Amino acid sequence: MRVITGRGIPPGMARAVAAMALCGPAWAGSVPARFQYTEVHMGVQTRIVLYADSQARAESAASAAFRRIARLDDTMSDYRASSELMRLCARAGQGPVKVSPDLFRVLLRCDELHERSGGAFDPTVGPIVALWRTARKTGRLPPVAELESARALVGWSNVDLERRRRTVTLKRPGMRLDLGGIAKGYACDAALAEIRRHGIRSAMIEMGGDIVLGARPPDLRGWRIDVPNAAEVMALSNCAVSTSGDAEQYVEFAGVRYSHIVDPRTGLGLTSRISVTVIAPRGELSDGLSTAISVMGRDAGLRLAARYPGVRVFMRAPAEARQR
């Protein structure tokens, strides 16, 4: 996704420069200047653009935001055995486990998305996602028997959330949660909140296909976002934009392309070639909805989106993805 701002620098260039202000000295007096920083988090280039009245303030806000994202990665990563999420999974089948407020909040949102999507959004797909990841590396389809045993561990009804004690129970040993469909959007929201705590209103956080926007840049109508699947550049602010699809992560066997998003009902990576962009008030919602709608297809997906005020959907949906 391209992000274009008024006095910007081509995004490609920014990616090569880690955690460095690119237009610091331009600020003068009370006119806020544009600062841009990049670091790698959750496996993707993470970009922060913000407007501040001093370089010192810009840097402390951006580094606090990156630290917050790094902590959330420690909470929600399914790549690291030491993350809070993986430690929770290690205790599957052993009763309730108290979790952090962030993890509980994400799981509550997952619970709502699961229910409203009729089961299309389901973070218990972890064991299946793991098999497809291996398939991408080895170039071999997951063995049918392994897919079958992985599928037996999938099911949100095996997750209990207890609000008062903030505990999570994973009822079956071997269950594995995967928050890849929502974690980056949530992390962008948290990063924006951190930047706001530093007194900065105009900011943008981009993590791969997920973008969260604060107030508009001082000299523009909005953040100029080239919205995938809308084929237009929009001036946006105070909202989030997420895109899901198989453009980057997929595996191909016998001419069929399987996405990294799996249909919990079949255990297979999506083959529909659908690509969905969601604009929503918050990143946790745009991210979760774009994944859910990808699984649901166009018609059911649009019905789901209609239940959320302030949500807009743009998609490229080949015929087979239209109805479910």
Q: Which of 147, 261, 278, 285 binds ligand ADP (CB under 6 A)?
A: 261
Question: Residue 83 CB, nearest distance to ligand ADP (Å)?
Answer: 13
For residue 82, which amino acid is it? Answer: S
Residue 250 interacting with ligand ADP (CB under 6 A): no
Question: Residue 56 CB, nearest distance to ligand ADP (Å)?
Answer: 33
Q: Which of 11, 32, 181, 214 binds ligand ADP (CB under 6 A)?
A: 181
Out of Mg ion, ligand ADP, none, which partner does residue 260 contact, by CB within 5 to 8 A per kind?
ligand ADP
For residue 127, which amino acid is it? Answer: P
Token code pair at residue 200: 């900065």
> Which span (7-15, 21-29, 65-73, 122-130) binds ligand ADP, by CB under 6 A?
122-130
> Which span (59-67, 151-159, 166-174, 283-291) binds ligand ADP, by CB under 6 A?
283-291
Contact map string, positions 281 to 320, toward Mg ion, x by CB under 5 A = ------x--xx-----------------------------
Residue 260 interacting with ligand ADP (CB under 6 A): yes
Measured from the CB atom, the residue of 58 and 182 that comes closer to ligand ADP is 182
Residue 246 interacting with ligand ADP (CB under 6 A): no
- Give residues in contact with Mg ion (CB under 5 A): 181, 244, 287, 290-291
- Give residues in contact with ligand ADP (CB under 6 A): 121-123, 125, 129, 178, 180-181, 184, 208-209, 244, 249, 260-262, 264, 287, 290-291, 295
